[in-house]
Structure 1
Amino acid sequence: MAAVVQNVVTSGTFELDGGSWAVDNNVWLIGDDTEVLVIDAAHDAEAIADVVGDRKLVAIVSTHAHNDHVNAAPALAERTGAPILLHREDRVLWDLTHPGRAPDGELTDGQTLTVAGTELRVLHTPGHAPGAVCLYAPELGVLFTGDTLFHGGPGATGRSYSDYPTIVKSIHDKLFALPDGTEVRTGHGESTTIGAEKAASTGWD
């Protein structure tokens, strides 16, 4: 069986800078019948584990460390034995949610993760968060963007540790270099394509 992409939507709150907002998060799973990788363990470890089933969970990858993307990661790791991976520049945000519990490994720009024979390339795309990353699966023609790029434009940059010029540069330099037909699977909301977002980006700057 070739690797396939699965989606679980979980609900909870995003909390930062003293505010709290209700959110629905996309949790993405990539794998086959025997092993799987989870991107952004949000809100509900049990719901995610139910989709993992009896497959080996090779890693829990965090696109960034805002609480709504990592709050279920330790519970899912404890349940499955899978390592939690995060870019080191997002440790400052991780520690706001999980003080005293470090991630198990670091993500680096250009790193390759493999699951079910499918490669995922790590792209460091700061802006929404300093250690934000996207994961590109060229064989699948799919890009997982977390909160860096959405249907309709860049992720939010109005709160601590974020910066608008930086996220725009990340998207232009790293993401818009990918094929236009690349499917964009986002951290919240509907999917899009690189070509659609590139065409709509003229007013960003």
Structure 2
Amino acid sequence: MYKIDSRILGMVGTNCYLLCNMDIKECVLIDPADSQDEISRMIDESGCSLKGILLTHGHFDHIMAADAVRDKYDVKVYASCDEKNTLEQPHINLGEAYGLKLSVKADVWHKDGEILKLAGFDIEALHTPGHTEGGSCYYIREIGVLFSGDTLFCGSVGRTDFPGGSMSEIVRSIKEKVMVLPDDTKVYPGHGEGTSVGYERVNNPFLVN
């Protein structure tokens, strides 16, 4: 049995998710947006042991608490091998525009299609560039769940006017990596309400030809 808890954190309302495997009482954190205290409360209330932190991409609003949570729980941070520049450089991760000298280094740089075995789940890292150079979605086939970061939203796609962004690339990423998943796949985006692959296939104006 699995459970997904979430918090909306930070100055731009970013979704931070906790994926819990209730059978073995272990969990994975996706996008520690801000507020170590609030994230710690979510983890502690779950009754699960944190086993890793997944970053969908390197923009400041998704990584502000990454170092603090990593240090507190002594876990590894995972990110795409193509996202180093965004994560490590404040002028690319947009933190500089908000007066933040924010730089995060992942412990594990994953490749496209790599399976991350965490908290009893097989988590497939799908590299979906377009919002950033190394944006990723995380797919857990066994439970039909996709964490899409800022790649795919309900009825929309991520912005592409930031460094490393490309509209043609993000649409191609979604069509080739996400729209091939089952219709009933539940999608948990980086901002806003959740959706499903089937709904977006029919209703998303960026994807409907």
TM-score, structure 2 normalization: 0.87
Q: Does 1:79 align with 2:72?
A: yes
Unpaired segments of 5 or more residues in structure 1? 13-22
1:94 paired to 2:58 = no
Distance 2:17 2:147 in 1: 8
Question: In the aligned structure 2, how far is the partner of 1:77 from the partner of 1:159?
Answer: 27
Q: Give the Cα–Cα distance (whole angstroms) in 1 for the partners of residues 121 and 87 of structure 2.
A: 28
Say yes or no: does 1:9 pair with 2:8: yes
One-letter amino acid of the counterpart of residue 104, structure 1? D
| Match in the other structure for 1:51 | 42
Per-residue deviation, 1:102: 2.2
Q: Please state how far the C-alpha of 1:147 moved relative to its aligned partner.
A: 0.2
> Which residue of structure 1 aligns with residue 143 of structure 2?
140
Letter in 2 for 1:82: V
SS of 1:57's equivalent? strand
Counterpart Cα distance in 2 of 1:62 and 1:102: 11
**TM-score (ref. length: structure 1):** 0.88
* 1:191 CA displacement: 0.4
Tell whether 2:59 aligns with 1:66.
yes
Secondary structure in 1 matching 2:17: strand
d(CA) in 2 for partners of 1:120, 1:203: 27
Q: Which moved more, 1:27-36 or 1:163-172?
A: 27-36
1-side partners of 2:118 and 2:88: how far apart? 28
The 8 Å contact of residues 29 and 39 in structure 1, kept in 2 or not, is answered as yes
Paired position in structure 2 for 1:31: 20
How many Å separate the matches in 2 of 1:85 and 1:26?
A: 17
* Separation in structure 2 between the aligned mates of residue 139 and residue 85 of structure 1, nearest angstrom: 20
Q: What whole-Å deviation, never above 9, does each CA across 1:92-121 have from its counterpart, x for those lacking one?
A: 11112444x522111211111233422211
Count of aligned pairs: 193
Identity of aligned residues (%): 33
* Paired amino acid for 1:148: T
Which range moved further: 139-148 or 87-96? 87-96
SS in 2 for 1:143: strand
CA distance in 2, matches of 1:40, 1:65: 9
One-letter amino acid matched to 2:38 = A
Q: Report the AA paired with residue 197 of structure 1.
A: E
**Residue 45 of structure 1, CA deviation:** 1.4
User: Which residue of structure 1 aligns with residue 203 of structure 2?
Assistant: 200
Partners in 1 of 2:61 and 2:67 — Cα distance? 13
Report if the CA contact (8 A) 1:30-1:115 is conserved.
no
The residue type paired with residue 19 of structure 2 is I
Matched, 1:164 2:167: yes
Change (3 A) 1:30 1:43: same
- Partner-residue secondary structure (3-state), 1:139: helix
Where structure 2 has 5 or more consecutive residues not aligned to the other structure, the ranges are: 91-101
CA contact (8 A) 1:150 1:186 kept: yes
Matched, 1:42 2:33: yes
Q: Structure 1: which 4+ aligned runs deviate by more than 6 Å?
A: none
